[in-house]
Structure 1
Amino acid sequence: MQPGGSKRELAVGWEAEAVAAAEPQAAAAAEQVRVDAGASGEPERKAREESAKDPVPAQPRATEEGDARVLPRPPPALPVSRPKLALAPGLWPQGKPRSKGQSCKRSPSRRSGEYHSLRPVTVDSSKARTSLDALKISIRQLQWKEFPFGRRLPCDIYWHGVSFHDSDIYSGQVNKFPGMTEMVRKITLSRAVRIMQSLFPEEYNFYPRSWILPDEFQLFAAQVRMVKDGNPSWKPTFIVKPDGGCQGDGIYLIKDPSDIRLAGTLQRRPAVVQEYICKPLLIDKLKFDIRLYVLLKSLDPLEIYIAKDGLSRFCTEPYQEPTPKNLHHIFMHLTNYSLNIHSGNFVHSDSTSTGSKRTFSSILCRLSSKGVDIKKVWSDIISLVIKTVIALTPELKVFYQSDIPAGRPGPTCFQILGFDILLMKNLKPILLEVNANPSMRIEHEQELSPGVFENVPSLVDEEVKVAVIRDTLRLMDPLKKKRENHFPGMCTERKPRLPPVSDRRSPAKRHLSRLSTVRSQQLEKPEAGKEDPSDSDLAFASDGNLNPEAHLPSICLKQVFPKYAKQFNYLRLVDRMANLFIRFLGIKGTMKLGPTGFRTFIRNCKLSSSSLSMAAVDILYIDITRRWNSMTLDQRDSGMCLQAFVEAFFYLAQRKFKLLPLHKQVASLIDLCEYHLSLLDEKRLVCGRSGRPGGRPPYSGTPQEAAPAAPPAESDLRPCTAKLSHPRHAPA
């Protein structure tokens, strides 16, 4: 006998037995899924038939010592190969779905087989922070794949807890816009809304009159003194908010600019002082505000969604109008949850219609029972949200092109914003502030005894916040189109199938047990040496459900823009100015316009004339830029910021188009600039086609400015004084 012959015989015998044992199982699996002729897996079936024509000769069974159950696998040098098994298409021998690859063809005749090959959406939650618990629940409901410790391979969605720069990403989608944190700070938001108030004062009367401290303290004191002199019975109250404050930190009320606390604020940090709303709507004699969740799905084109439900946060002391005696009662005047939770009167409730935190829908139901027109309330709130976002988007575009320049790889962005709104006694909504990072916690700490705290579930928070995160992910689903192709009816409107959280959960202990399990899973370390699964490997996670959203309720986010774009597009004048500003920035990644870029803007738009020389343009640039740079804290870049450019644009519009309201002056100048730029781009395009050196690509802006009409003739406009005066640049 040749050396190694016994091992060969044993190996061949083992192979024959394995084939014989696998054939009945494979035949049963094929019968179960009813494989059609020509389906995937046919090449493997032919290989089996050919091997059957030339069977392997049977070998005697191995002795007990060399039983196949304990026989080591043959060495690689031996020419022994196992025949392929005929299995159901798209399945491994273990019955799990196969990933895409050269050895797995998708059957065009079986939609279920196609869906099994679709991988789940991947979400990197390593930077989620306080929103982690709600995010985990959302991912689990969607049957997606979470990577709590990050992943070396790119993920589809990255969930950041603070800002766009929480981690360096170059693909996929991230739930933060660059610059959003800076844009919704008290001072920046007030300036953005103030610009819109100068253009459309009647449309932006939902924001309290504001002054920026310390820059405008003298103006604030002078205006208050002037009004009091004209109306001695006027007894105003003002609220002071630190620029970078959050959770009610540093907020206090004053009755007069001479208040000694205001002097201390001027020395410490910038702040905003606003008129205090003295007549709010009360429920159960308590003041409350509304936290609404708004999804900014896209910046260009602009796409806005509003959650159908929000949170109502109540004060914990009965409300009285401000007097010198009760100005310090923060539990009476400030609705911040982070403050009132420390009040002894704070009421935790699992009901959505009682307690110190309730759902907004429960408030609307109560108002409706009293005859209030709820549709009018919602309409006013939607209008407030759209107008506020329109005020924020111009500078957000500048931030966006700075961090993600056009033509360079980068992620797409979306963001959930928290709008804090107060209803006045007459049901008019007032914007208090906008939060870039609204709290998504679904539990809070309760002090059981001094120094001893316990995590207590908040069923009201979970009811609202999980739905917002889950449906935001559904709207941003990068594989949604593929699923729609497989299941055309999956996006049809569905009735809610998930019962309310209050019905599904009871006991707080069960909730706390789940939270502790989530945290323990978060702290577990990945197995040593385990590689990140590839996207094709993730297809194994499918549980065979043909429609993963079949069990979910209808989406709780309602689109309001571009749905109502026709009603609000006329307000987007500053947005069109931002497009001009970005065009002339020159260097990619910068946020300020240099003197050369400003002169190029004047020349290309043909704004210079005998009354406005280029020397006057240079003086205008230096004067406005110097003043704005002295008011901003960021001195890293020199040049003209967007708000300074807007002021210069207003000045030019007032000079060129007189005797018109400011918004018509600005609109006319924008039309003129877009008209000249479109002619210039057409000329460059023709030069490029003819082989001569060309310039930048044709001008493209928002849809309403894509094809600008001929500019209005200056002779058709009557001269008059301008609405907005600039003392340093009076109209000529």
Structure 2
Amino acid sequence: MVRMVKDGDPSWKPTFIVKPDSGCQGDGIYLIKDPSDIRLAGTLQSRPAVVQEYICKPLLIDKLKFDIRLYVLLKSLDPLEIYIAKDGLSRFCTEPYQEPSPKNLHHTFMHLTNYSLNIHSGNFVHSDSTSTGSKRTFSSILCRLSSKGVDIKKVWSDIISLVIKTVIALTPELKVFYQSDIPAGRPGPTCFQILGFDILLMKNLKPILLEVNANPSMRIEHEQELSPGVFENVPSLVDEEVKVAVIRDTLRLMDPLKNKRENHFPDIYVDRKHRFPPVSDRMSSSVLQLSKLFIARSQKLKQPAVKEEPSDSEPASASDANPNPEAHLPSICLKQVFPKYAKQFNYLRLVDRMANLFIRFLGIKGTMKLGPTGFRTFIRNCKLSSSSLSMAAVDILYIDITRRWNSMTLDQRDSGMCLQGFVEAFFYLAQRKFKMLPLHEQVASLVDLCEYHLSLLDEKRLVCGRSGTSGGRAPDSGTPQEAAASAPLAQGTPPACTNSAHKVSNSRHALS
């Protein structure tokens, strides 16, 4: 791919950043100029790695490169609910930035913003306020940019758009994992995740996503060396300012025992089973530490203020008798961005709707791959077979795509078609059925058609079920795969319209 881009643009001379898979805290990251670099070949043989184009023109503050860590709460998958913290961390390099060259590629403190690396630099400055030092609040950076005439609302709008698009891209696969672990019909919020988005602002203020951390550090202190080999944990003003607010609002939003908050603060964090994906012990202990800190602070805040006693002739109001436990807490820092802005981004959720179809036909609870019977049932129930697409051709399509995807994965525990293979098959079917439409409309039209036929099937089975309970004979449920496929679409799936033509026209209108 690099060769193809270079052929199209000979002036393109990129630098690449190599990040070892499953690495953390900047361990093993390095820069290269040539994709054939012998170090890269050695890395990929011993340990898989992610190779990205290095962003050479970042926005600089005080001549230093920096990135932004923003915290995003994924409250629910179905329906999708996303919250983003109004403030974040800005983490600075400790050596003045220069564009990468063969002479400075190894200058870690110039190119890598990782806090765990730069803290070992002699130039690292522990922050004594939120707007100075090597780690600052993002709000302090925005204030500085605003003073120079930058449109801060536009910057935030672009960041929110980036976050929503990223989560929408992650949602389909998360749903497949979710259905294999979480009991169906469980009341209330069953899991959540705090994600750490690492974002770089370019010179033109366009935000670029660097990576998403499933287990972002929630520590609110740093180590300080008192004497050789003797360290002490010192509270970090900047971390405390941002992270305590994130945890506080997460507890507000996720605690199902809201009226018993004082007695049950830590409970939701102890149950590690209901998270997506599993969260490290380090984060769990950090969250507990923060929740305890917040409990202690909130108890101080809840001391009743001095006020006039109501006279005997005036009964105390209901609010006085049952004060709101959150009345004296700081303002909300987590802002809902989805479904608040759903209208602007729902057109991107086609793969999410495909995932709902995929999950419906999985058949067996806990599996994450679709068997041949389930794929045939999908084709049959959605009325996709025809004279030009026989069931024999469907079987060949299933075998070809499944073999190709299974050859690319290291996990061979389950046999069958993975979600990515199903999406490829779906695109193939859409191109065959709606040849005259653009690709996006082909896929949207096929999704609409499948949901329409399945809604009719659900209605028919519901009517038959009612007649069966009133004395009539219930229909034969067929194979286990077909019985599972007859279940309603996953909760949160857009309801089918009364006719497919109306749905197709709606999807085209959304694209216009």
Task: Give me the TM-score of the superposition, normalised by structure 2.
Answer: 0.81
CA contact (8 A) 1:654 1:665 kept: yes
Q: 664, 689, 693: which one pairs with 2:474? A: 693
2:394 matched to which residue of 1?
A: 617
CA contact (8 A) 2:360 2:490 kept: no
1:371 matched to which residue of 2?
A: 149
Amino acid at match of 2:451: E
Task: Give the alignment of 1:519-530 within 5 angstroms.
Answer: none
Secondary structure of 1:240 counterpart? strand
2:439 matched to which residue of 1?
A: 662
1:500 matched to which residue of 2?
A: none
Q: 278, 293, 304: which one pairs with 2:71? A: 293
Amino acid at match of 2:217: S
CA contact (8 A) 2:58 2:200 kept: yes
Q: 1:267 to 1:698 in 2, by over 3 A?
A: closer
Q: 1:605 to 1:388 in 2, by over 3 A?
A: same
Task: Give the alignment of 1:62-141 within 5 angstroms.
Answer: none
Q: Distance in 2 between matches of 1:287 and 1:650?
A: 42
* Shift in Å, 1:708: 3.1
Amino acid at match of 2:385: S
2:379 matched to which residue of 1?
A: 602
Secondary structure of 1:705 counterpart? coil
Secondary structure of 1:567 counterpart? helix
Q: 480, 484, 494: which one pairs with 1:705? A: 494
Q: Which moved more, 1:284-293 or 1:629-638?
A: 629-638
CA contact (8 A) 1:352 1:358 kept: yes
Q: How many residues align?
A: 436
Q: Distance in 1 between matches of 2:233 and 2:12?
A: 47
CA contact (8 A) 1:239 1:253 kept: yes
Q: Distance in 2 between matches of 1:545 and 1:446?
A: 45
Amino acid at match of 1:706: P
Secondary structure of 1:681 counterpart? helix
Task: Give me the TM-score of the superposition, normalised by structure 1.
Answer: 0.57
Q: 1:621 to 1:410 in 2, by over 3 A?
A: farther
1:332 matched to which residue of 2?
A: 110
CA contact (8 A) 1:576 1:702 kept: no
Segments of structure 1 that go 5 or more residues without pairing to the other structure are: 1-222, 484-514, 520-543, 717-732
Q: Distance in 2 between matches of 1:405 and 1:650?
A: 31
Q: 32, 45, 66: which one pairs with 1:254? A: 32
Task: Give the alignment of 1:329-728 within 5 angstroms.
Answer: 329-407=107-185, 412-480=190-258, 546-691=323-468, 692-694=473-475, 695=477, 699-701=488-490, 705-712=494-501
Deviation string for 1:511-554 (max 9, x for gaps)?
A: xxxx9xx99xxxxxxxxxxxxxxxxxxxxxxxx98332232111
CA contact (8 A) 2:356 2:493 kept: no
Q: Distance in 2 between matches of 1:709 and 1:268?
A: 56
* Shift in Å, 1:262: 0.7
Q: Distance in 1 between matches of 2:188 and 2:493?
A: 27
CA contact (8 A) 2:72 2:82 kept: yes
CA contact (8 A) 2:78 2:492 kept: no
1:239 matched to which residue of 2?
A: 17
Q: Distance in 1 between matches of 2:23 and 2:437?
A: 40
Q: Distance in 2 between matches of 1:411 and 1:562?
A: 16
Deviation string for 1:72-102 (max 9, x for gaps)?
A: xxxxxxxxxxxxxxxxxxxxxxxxxxxxxxx
Q: 1:667 to 1:265 in 2, by over 3 A?
A: same
Secondary structure of 2:97 counterpart? coil
Larger radius of gyration: 1
Percent identity over the alignment?
91
* Shift in Å, 1:644: 1.1
Amino acid at match of 1:576: R
Q: 1:626 to 1:288 in 2, by over 3 A?
A: same
* Shift in Å, 1:555: 1.0
Q: CA RMSD in A?
A: 2.3
CA contact (8 A) 1:288 1:315 kept: yes
Task: Give the alignment of 1:49-60 within 5 angstroms.
Answer: none
Segments of structure 2 that go 5 or more residues without pairing to the other structure are: 262-288, 294-320, 478-482, 506-512
Deviation string for 1:471-515 (max 9, x for gaps)?
A: 1101123244799xxxxxxxxxxxxxxxxxxxxxxxxxxxxxxx9
Q: 318, 323, 340: which one pairs with 2:96? A: 318
Q: Distance in 2 between matches of 1:698 and 1:447?
A: 61
Deviation string for 1:555-588 (max 9, x for gaps)?
A: 1111111111111111110110011001000001
